[in-house]
Structure 1
Amino acid sequence: MKRPYPPEHLIDKDWSEEFLFESATDIHDWLQETILNPNSKLYNKDHEHLIGHSGVCFLWAESGFEKQGRAVLGQAEIVQFQASGWKKYRQEAQLIRWFGFLPKALITLDARYCSDCSDSSFMALVEHELYHLKQKISPNGGPCYDSQTGHAILQMRGHDVEEFFGVVERYGGNVDVQRMAELVNNGPTVSKANIAHACGTCLLKLA
């Protein structure tokens, strides 16, 4: 199944116009046929809690943005509203206009980047954002499901290190991850014993 591409009018628009977003429902369908399909060569078991999950929606943004000096190409979030009254209703109405319902989670992707990047780079970006959506675990250790839809209840998770292990395994690491791997392979410049003797907490454990 061919990978989804953003609509051309998002890429070619005049920069003087308002910033545009557009729903990307084809990404959801593509995921269910590829990465979330146990019969696909691209299947990734790490995301099995998202199989058939209709509450995860995708949105194209006409471009990325910068945060703390880094270009942001994708962003995953659990849909929640820190507002009430008309402000909350307005935010809900916008999502309903895009998708026809209120999603449980939203992944926004940079349309300009996704229009030019390689297939593997696109998949790595999408999977990176998917890894941020983990299934909630109950206090007794079992997975949580929505009683109405039967879908997994989702919550956010952070990186394993600077990236998710699954993304590095499938697509390779970025410069930061490769640098970290080199440091691990080269071994510590200060031994564990030396570090332990320089740390008060570790000294208590060694006593």
Structure 2
Amino acid sequence: MTAFPVEPAHDVADWMRAAFIDEEAPLLNEEHIHLRDARLGVLWCSLPNERQGNSVVGLCEEATFIGNRWAKARWEQQIGGWFGEIPDFLLTFDAGYADQCSDAAFCALVEHELLHAGQKKDKWGAPRFNSQTGRPVFGIRGHDVEEFVSVVARYGVGNAAGRTRALVEAANRPPIICEADIAGACGTCGRGLTKP
């Protein structure tokens, strides 16, 4: 571990592309296709984080800064120094959690954060593209399901918020990705990702 709790994780960004985003990715998820054109910055953090009483082990943010000119200049110098450019999205992962979790849990965490790295839609629901560059217009995507287990337990999935029923139906089917696929693309020992 270094003297600083946050370090860039270039190898993780490369692995994410190779595992989930690239056309020949062994765990390809079609929902990440727009990210082929995205600049992704990935960080390891060795500090625990919590939000609203829950542990936070991953975070996806648009790499933007709001503040005075000097603070913005410091931020741009640090982020640009780490990644060579300002990424479209900045993904931060808890190094301690990643070190002890299973391969499937790590893959699920990474994909969860990648799913937050969304592409904005126009008023008809079609993906938006920048008219000058042709690149996707990026934005943070919210969760598909936002509900408490207690509400589902007490009132059933039909009375729960959002897409809870779809989540329950998916949970009752076998996973699409099997352990052998994960081991071939990730493998804790073969992951080769450096954590602070």
SS of the residue aligned with 2:145? coil
Percent of aligned pairs with the same residue? 40
Alpha-carbon distance between aligned partners in 2 of 1:122 and 1:100, rounded to the nearest angstrom: 26
1:94 Cα offset (Å): 1.1
Gapped runs of 5+ residues in structure 1? 1-8, 11-16, 164-175, 189-207
Partner of 1:152: 136
Query: Structure 1 residues 137, 90: CA separation in 2 closer, same or farther (over 3 Å shift)?
Result: same
Alpha-carbon distance between aligned partners in 2 of 1:180 and 1:78, rounded to the nearest angstrom: 32
Instruction: Figure out how many residues of one structure are paired with residues of the other and give that number.
Output: 159
Partner of 2:23: 38
Alpha-carbon distance between aligned partners in 2 of 1:178 and 1:27, rounded to the nearest angstrom: 35
SS of the residue aligned with 1:35? helix
Matched, 1:135 2:145: no
Query: Structure 1 residues 181, 45: CA separation in 2 closer, same or farther (over 3 Å shift)?
Result: farther
2:110 is matched by which residue type in structure 1?
V
Partner of 2:89: 105
TM-score by length of 2: 0.70
Q: 1:91 aligns with which of 46, 66, 75?
A: 75
Partner of 2:109: 125
Partner of 1:3: none
Gapped runs of 5+ residues in structure 2? 160-196
Instruction: Give per-residue Cα distances to partners, 1:110-147, cap 9 Å, x unaligned.
Output: 01111111111101111111111210123454422345
Contact preservation (8 Å) 1:134, 1:154: yes
Contact preservation (8 Å) 1:64, 1:74: no
1:1-207 alignment, distance < 5 Å = 9=1, 19-53=4-38, 55-139=39-123, 141-146=125-130, 150-162=134-146, 180=152, 184=156
Partner of 2:167: none
Moved over 6 A (4+): none
Where relative contact order (Cα < 8 A, 6+ residues apart) is larger, the structure is 2
Alpha-carbon distance between aligned partners in 1 of 2:154 and 2:103, rounded to the nearest angstrom: 27
Query: Structure 1 residues 45, 184: CA separation in 2 closer, same or farther (over 3 Å shift)?
Result: farther
Contact preservation (8 Å) 1:32, 1:52: no
